[in-house]
Structure 1
Amino acid sequence: MNIDTEGLESFIPTEKIEELLQSEQNPSESQIREIIAKSLEKNRLAPEETAALLNVSDPELKQLIREGAHELKKTIYGNRIVLFAPLYVGNECVNDCVYCGFRSSNKECIRATLSHEQLVQETQALESKGHKRLIMVYGEHPKYSPDFIAQTVQTVYDTKYGKGEIRRVNINAAPLDIEGYRIVKSVGIGTYQIFQETYHQETYKTLHPRGPKSNFLWRLYGLDRAMKAGIDDLGIGALMGLYNWKFEVMGLLYHTIHLEETFGVGPHTISFPRLEPAIGTKFTENPPHKVPDEDFKQLIAIIRLSVPYTGMILTAREEAELRNEAIRYGISQIDAGSSIGVGDYSAKDEESRKKSQFVLGDTRSLDDVIYELAQEGYIPSFCTSCYRAGRTGEHFMEFAIPGFVKRFCTPNALLTFAEYLYDYASERTRQIGFELIDRELKQIEDENMKQAVKNKLEQMEKGVRDLYF
């Protein structure tokens, strides 16, 4: 693969971001209310407006921002939460990122790549718990070629266990060239996710001293190439703790704007994981720009308001208590029942931590997470209908920006939730789950849709599966 960035320039305006973060100090209450009102009309914010939100210091105005984000989430996404699990395929890596447990110079990391048989076992283990959506994770190494990624994805799709199957596979892997993306697209992936890690170019250079990942522009334009290859479902992200979190939020916004202006569609999801401890990695023990919990909750709310129609992912890096609270500020997807050691789902052993990229904060089972979500009135969803009905990329935004997603997503969430309850749930989860479904059915205003959902639920009770709108 020829890594060629000749003629490319960064679309992250470092000086402009720093200037905005300085100039938009101490915004007034009226200004903040105007910005929130614009967002509640489902309009993406301008950089100046996001900078103003980032510079709020008054506790009451901070709370106003969080309440606005909560209201926006309800308006666009309703009370559903999409669930998935990460599946680490291999941790071999040629990069030497200072903060990463998989870095090439880390002698404490035990290298592993799943064989075909192990991948089948991992997939079956996940299906046996009720998972329907995965994100498959790969280190950056020559053995993880586009052909290898495509083959492993196809193996997952082909693997069935009891009533279980994986219906959507998303990818977290190294940036590819256009032909590489075409190969991966050919097996029917969902989202292709690339985290820039930090959008501050000088910091990026320091933290990525060796390997292909040291090329800031190659990574920055990675999703442009994916779009050109026909993958229109993209995920962006920044690793919070590498640089000033306010700068990173602005970087995520400018990346969104770049994709919108270049291709007419922004990212499908935004991620903002915090740096967590990793074995053999001193850098993670005292991050230079550690993000406190309160700031983390604030950045979630600000991203929600800045890009109203984009999905937001909160991972199990965070502890359960924080996740339970932060969901209300705009989260639409979480992983659950997660394990991040290579081979952990089917054969967890004493060396699992040495095969892991970092340490998880939330180790609850999938059923426990679903039970607690239902207790709080959230609809756990395994829905994949938009992906399979072609509502991705620009087509997805046609539904998402006006807020029409809720019309598809709530009914589909109820159906996938019922499927989980019938096939995998504990008795306590099944009881609270069907009570929640009954309440939600009563709140569907469209009588035709309400009856259609009831009809599909009756079919499901008789054993029919994979029903969606």
Structure 2
Amino acid sequence: MNKELLGTTWQEEVKAESFVNEELLETLLLETKNPSEEEFNAVMERAKHQERLTLKEVAILLNTEDKDKIQEIFHLAKSIKERVYGNRVVLFAPLYLGNKCTNLCTYCGFKATNQDTLRKTLSLEEERKEIEALIDEGHKRLILVYGTHPDYKADYIAETVKLAYSIKNGNGEIRRVNINAAPQTIEDYKLIKDAGIGTYQIFQETYHQETYKKVHIAGEKSNFKWRLFGLSRAMEAGLDDVGIGALFGLYNWKFEVLGLMQHVEHLEKEYNVGPHTISFPRLKEANGLLKNEKYLVNDDELKRIIAILRLAVPYTGLILTAREEPELRRECMELGVSQIDAGTQIELQGYSKHKREQDLKKEQFKIGDSRSLDEVMRELMQGGFTPSFCTACYRLGRTGEHFMEFSKPGFIHNFCTPNAVLTLAEYLEDYASEETKKIGYELIEKEIDKSNVKEDIKVTLKEKLEKVKIGQRDLYY
């Protein structure tokens, strides 16, 4: 492997010991095999009180194979999600700004050795056109995605974030920009934070070190601990809104769930707040994909992962991506999911060109749900969910520990439901098809009537909705 291929391969040495105790995780999975009914019931009783579960308790749920008990887990996951977040589902869109990469990851279409991958970095003018196209669809929340490459340093990330916030198009604008990029130094995180980002997201991909080494052959990403402590450095830089994730299909899915939970424990112990979101993407077809069939996760296992995570970390956002097919997404929505992407394009310049067909030589992996934002929102509402583009907590400083102060006692209902309704009304007025608009306002009326928000907030919410109808925007609690 030559230096030109790998680019800048500096890897700062992380002196801290890994917080992932593989021996402990494997032992817990062995010790909790075939859990008794008493053990299962004890964990479920704890979960009903919406306390974060211990590693052993999570292992018991992971090893529960009885179909009736799995259905109990599913039902409780749905109940907890509704108690914490109500019926709302936050929507966002990913925007790829560059696919140059110096890493050699066996599962990724952007790996450095893929010579037929069409490489591109968006200019600021090209980024502007993509964001205008996203705004015209009705989006207000983005996650910007960058490869690992010298072209995507902190100053470039900060510049692209500032541009995203600066663009106004009709009544539309982007109100929250999250980041999915390589781990940074503390100083670089500070630079990116100053641009006003929301969540900084880093997926460890796999918490199993031997597997990690096998699938990350070269490049900066091959340094397990540099990546593992990436969000710890973000916290130290003042970014208290972070997202973790694992790529399911690289190693034993039960181990990876426990790895995610050890990451949660580490962040809570060191910084007094866990991750804002957890993602659980599955390995999907990609240009030059190398995979081990042994660890692929089936649909039923994915549903168990989602439900168990909801029980394990009741106040954390769970993100289900458009990697999955529409039918499976429908089923998973009932298990505790709180965020999804919609109208997704992962080809660079895909939004402005209105691409529908995928070309894996231009994309990182194959997506399963290519429906428009309007189609996804309409289906969500027909299923009783309230689509939300809310960004109020982020802009009012309700992040990190402050977010937990509001969410844990259940007060979040007095913010989330009204703000979801207001952002939905904006979409209905500015972007929705007539069919979606009709369904949307019927849902809003029902949501206000049945919701458990305070009566005085219901009164002001109705007043704000009337203001939205006459053209006022960005009203929130």
TM-score bucket (shorter structure): over 0.9
SS state at 2:142 partner: strand
1:226 aligned residue (228, 234, 251): 234
Cα distance between partner residues in 1 of 2:358 and 2:156: 25
Quote the residue 1:354 is aligned against: 361
Cα distance between partner residues in 2 of 1:199 and 1:242: 10
- In structure 2, give the amino acid aligned to 1:129: E
- In structure 1, give the amino acid aligned to 2:312: S
The answer to whether 1:50 aligns with 2:58 is yes
The 3 A distance-change label for structure 1 pair 351 and 369 is closer
Contact 2:414 2:457 (C-alpha < 8 Å) held by counterparts: no
- In structure 1, give the amino acid aligned to 2:338: S
Report the Cα offset of residue 162 of structure 1.
Answer: 1.5
1:156 aligned residue (161, 164, 176): 164
Q: Which runs of 5 or more structure 2 residues have no equivalent in the other structure? A: 1-7
Quote the residue 1:59 is aligned against: 67
Contact 1:29 1:61 (C-alpha < 8 Å) held by counterparts: no
Report the Cα offset of residue 109 of structure 1.
Answer: 0.9
2:345 aligned residue (339, 344, 347): 339
Contact 2:14 2:225 (C-alpha < 8 Å) held by counterparts: no
The answer to whether 1:424 aligns with 2:426 is no
Q: Kindly report which structure 2 residues correspond to 1:242-391, keeping only aligned pairs within 5 A, or say none.
A: 242-281=250-289, 283-284=290-291, 287-347=293-353, 352-391=359-398
- In structure 1, give the amino acid aligned to 2:382: Q
Report the Cα offset of residue 348 of structure 1.
Answer: 5.1
Q: Kindly report which structure 2 residues correspond to 1:434-453, keeping only aligned pairs within 5 A, or say none.
A: 434-445=441-452, 446-453=454-461
2:78 aligned residue (70, 74, 79): 70
Report the Cα offset of residue 161 of structure 1.
Answer: 1.4
Q: Kindly report which structure 2 residues correspond to 1:52-131, keeping only aligned pairs within 5 A, or say none.
A: 52-131=60-139
Quote the residue 2:4 is aligned against: none
Contact 2:165 2:175 (C-alpha < 8 Å) held by counterparts: yes
- In structure 2, give the amino acid aligned to 1:297: K
- In structure 1, give the amino acid aligned to 2:125: E
Contact 1:275 1:287 (C-alpha < 8 Å) held by counterparts: no
Contact 2:148 2:181 (C-alpha < 8 Å) held by counterparts: yes
SS state at 1:137 partner: strand
- In structure 1, give the amino acid aligned to 2:317: G
Cα distance between partner residues in 2 of 1:337 and 1:86: 9
- In structure 2, give the amino acid aligned to 1:314: L
Quote the residue 1:433 is aligned against: 440
Report the Cα offset of residue 444 of structure 1.
Answer: 3.3
Contact 1:422 1:430 (C-alpha < 8 Å) held by counterparts: yes
Cα distance between partner residues in 2 of 1:437 and 1:251: 39
Cα distance between partner residues in 1 of 2:197 and 2:465: 28
Contact 2:358 2:366 (C-alpha < 8 Å) held by counterparts: no
Cα distance between partner residues in 2 of 1:318 and 1:302: 19
Q: Identity percentage over the alignment?
A: 57
- In structure 2, give the amino acid aligned to 1:316: A
The answer to whether 1:185 aligns with 2:196 is no
Cα distance between partner residues in 2 of 1:274 and 1:342: 22
Q: Which runs of 5 or more structure 1 residues have no equivalent in the other structure? A: none
Quote the residue 1:137 is aligned against: 145
Report the Cα offset of residue 352 of structure 1.
Answer: 4.4
Report the Cα offset of residue 209 of structure 1.
Answer: 1.1
The 3 A distance-change label for structure 1 pair 415 and 226 is same
Report the Cα offset of residue 447 of structure 1.
Answer: 1.1
Contact 2:107 2:288 (C-alpha < 8 Å) held by counterparts: no
Cα distance between partner residues in 2 of 1:255 and 1:233: 14
- In structure 1, give the amino acid aligned to 2:221: K
- In structure 2, give the amino acid aligned to 1:119: E
Contact 2:14 2:226 (C-alpha < 8 Å) held by counterparts: no
RMSD of the TM alignment (CA)? 1.2
SS state at 2:132 partner: helix
Contact 1:342 1:352 (C-alpha < 8 Å) held by counterparts: no
Report the Cα offset of residue 351 of structure 1.
Answer: 8.0
Cα distance between partner residues in 2 of 1:174 and 1:79: 33
Contact 1:42 1:402 (C-alpha < 8 Å) held by counterparts: no
Cα distance between partner residues in 1 of 2:335 and 2:38: 21
Cα distance between partner residues in 1 of 2:425 and 2:439: 11
SS state at 1:347 partner: coil
Cα distance between partner residues in 2 of 1:195 and 1:69: 23
- In structure 2, give the amino acid aligned to 1:411: P
Cα distance between partner residues in 2 of 1:9 and 1:149: 30
Cα distance between partner residues in 1 of 2:69 and 2:336: 17
Matched residue pairs, number?
467
- In structure 2, give the amino acid aligned to 1:303: L
Once the two structures are superposed, what CA deviation does each residue of 1:159-194 show, in whole Å capped at 9, x if it has no partner?
Answer: 111111000000000000000100100010000000
Contact 2:216 2:222 (C-alpha < 8 Å) held by counterparts: yes
SS state at 1:195 partner: coil
Cα distance between partner residues in 2 of 1:465 and 1:5: 48
Quote the residue 1:410 is aligned against: 417
The 3 A distance-change label for structure 1 pair 279 and 309 is same
Once the two structures are superposed, what CA deviation does each residue of 1:211-250 show, in whole Å capped at 9, x if it has no partner?
Answer: 0100000000000000010000000000000000000000
SS state at 1:409 partner: helix
Contact 2:207 2:259 (C-alpha < 8 Å) held by counterparts: yes
